């Protein structure tokens, strides 16, 4: 009888997508060319990511939102049209020391000028995004839902931005309201940092990951969001045993009580009256 070997059940490759990543631009110099509505959206994304933003655009081209960012000194404004030398170093009125931009975002109503900036960025190996021209983009902006530390991006790879926005709204409406998910993620983030202080060695990594998985599966989002700093410290007492306590036990430990000192009625004993 033939001995057929079963093929491994690996995920199927689906070409044509983008590599979805969380690009860390904190304290990095990012240049936005343009000052209209699209540029305003790009600037907000960058500021939310703690980037150092330089806007290159004549004052006459700034819309009210970008003008507000400039007035509040949230961005550095270069009041003129783009010049090729801008790619050699962020203009000298930037707060940080002049350096080449880490990325360039172009949002101007001038296709030939946009293409020229794209080509200049390619020569200098600077990642760039030319608004509404997918073929001249190293990366795309998706439709983003934000709730504290939670960020969900929906991308159509530049093919249907309006559809991406609709899908993002549908996902957001399916999530709990009132910042519950974002708060839960913040608390879990604090716990992870505390755990690294307790078990800092690289060889502790697999155990940390397994225990954090158990914690994440043990409590609901709402329960996680309500964990106090004391709860997190008490929770860490169960790490060595690779255990996760029931929520009622964790709450009973508040006020400095040790797990062995907690005496809770759990319904195991009692009586009933029959008729």
- Please name every residue paired with 103 in a beta bridge, in sequence order, or none if there are none: 30
Q: Specify whether 243 is catalytic.
A: no
- Please name every residue paired with 52 in a beta bridge, in sequence order, or none if there are none: 29
> How much is the CA Rg of the chain, to the nearest whole Å?
26
Asked if 148 and 182 touch (Cβ cutoff 8 Å), the reply is yes
Residue 210: enclosing H or E segment and its boundaries? helix 205-218
Cβ atoms < 10 Å from Cβ of 241: 8
Edge-to-edge strands of the sheet including 128-130?
Answer: 76-78, 52-56, 29-33, 103-106, 128-130
Catalytic residue among 50, 52, 109, 132: 132
Any alpha helices (H) in 1-138, and if so which ranges? 37-48, 64-71, 111-124
Residues assigned a catalytic role: 132
């Amino acid at each position: 009888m033939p001995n057929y070997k079963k093929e491994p059940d690996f995920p199927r490759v689906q070409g044509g997508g983008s590599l979805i990543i969380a690009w860390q631009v904190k304290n990095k110099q990012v240049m936005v060319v343009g000052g209209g509505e699209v540029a305003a959206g790009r600037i907000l994304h960058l500021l939310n990511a703690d980037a150092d933003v330089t806007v290159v655009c004549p004052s006459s081209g700034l819309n009210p939102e970008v003008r507000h960012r400039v007035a509040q000194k949230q961005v550095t404004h270069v009041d003129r049209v783009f010049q090729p030398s801008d790619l050699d170093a962020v203009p000298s009125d930037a707060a940080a020391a002049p350096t080449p931009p880490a990325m360039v975002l172009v949002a101007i109503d001038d296709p030939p000028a946009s293409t020229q900036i794209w080509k200049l960025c390619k020569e200098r190996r600077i990642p760039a995004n030319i608004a509404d021209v997918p073929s001249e983009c190293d990366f795309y902006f998706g439709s983003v839902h934000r709730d504290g530390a939670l960020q969900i991006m929906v991308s159509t790879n530049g093919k249907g931005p309006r559809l991406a926005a609709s899908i993002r709204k549908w996902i957001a409406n399916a999530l709990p309201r009132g910042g519950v998910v974002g708060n839960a993620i913040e608390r879990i983030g604090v716990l992870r940092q505390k755990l690294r202080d307790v078990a800092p060695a690289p060889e502790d990594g697999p155990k940390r990951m397994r225990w954090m998985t158990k914690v994440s599966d043990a409590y609901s989002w709402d329960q996680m969001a309500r964990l106090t700093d004391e709860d997190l410290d008490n929770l860490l007492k169960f790490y060595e045993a690779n255990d996760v306590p029931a929520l009622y036990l964790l709450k009973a430990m508040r006020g400095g009580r040790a797990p062995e000192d907690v005496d809770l009625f759990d319904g195991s004993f009692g009586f009933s009256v029959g008729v």
